[in-house]
Amino acid sequence: MEQRINIITLGISDLEKSRDFYESGLGWKPSPISDNYKDIVFFKLGTLVLSLFPREALAEDAKTTPPAGGGFGGITLAHNARDKDTVDRIMERAAKAGATITKPAQNTSWGGYSGYFADPDGHLWEIAWNPYLPLDENGVLQIP
């Protein structure tokens, strides 16, 4: 298996609500291919794709049972910003779009600045500025 991830799919409870959160709330643009499907939305994120798919259908496709209730699912998604001010602006925009701020942005023990929010389905996003992982002009992490 090649060392890469192409698509991250979030199991969601309400497709229109989640699409609106990412599209109108965060300002992301769905891929035009999303128009070919009634039950999935794709967002191209550089070399990665984020898809939104109904949670029950995702569990059925994986031949598993969706977990009941909420709580920490053991995974977070992260967006590295170019500076601290951008972290604050993204956190504010997410809150206005209906996200739940789980940890306000603050200085970290590792020398950066980050906060967390949960999207409408509770998927956690870390918004961070990391001075040790700079971004190139295309937003690609410069990781050794």
Backbone region of residue 46 per phi and psi (left: phi > 0; alpha: psi in -120 to 50; beta: other values): left
- The contacts of residue 46 (CB under 8 Å, 6+ apart) are 138, 139, 140
pLDDT value of position 67: 66
Domains in the chain with CATH codes: 1-63 (3.10.180.10), 76-136 (3.10.180.10)
Q: What is the residue-level pLDDT of the chain in tens, covering all 144 positions?
A: 888 889 999 999 999 999 999 999 999 999 999 999 999 999 999 889 999 999 888 988 888 876 666 677 778 999 999 999 999 999 999 999 999 999 999 999 999 999 999 999 999 999 999 999 889 998 888 887
**What is the value of pTM for the model shown?**
0.88
The token pair at 75 is: 């995974």
The token pair at 129 is: 């500025």
- 15 φ/ψ angles, rounded to the nearest 5 degrees: -60, -45
Q: Which residue has the tokens 């070399």?
A: 47
- Asked whether the CA dihedral 67, 69, 75, 80 is positive or negative, the reply is positive
Which of 85-99 are b and which e, b meaning 16 or more Cβ less than 10 Å from the residue's Cβ?
eebbebbeebeebeb
CA 93, CA 55: separation in Å to the nearest integer?
Answer: 25
The token pair at 144 is: 């050794």
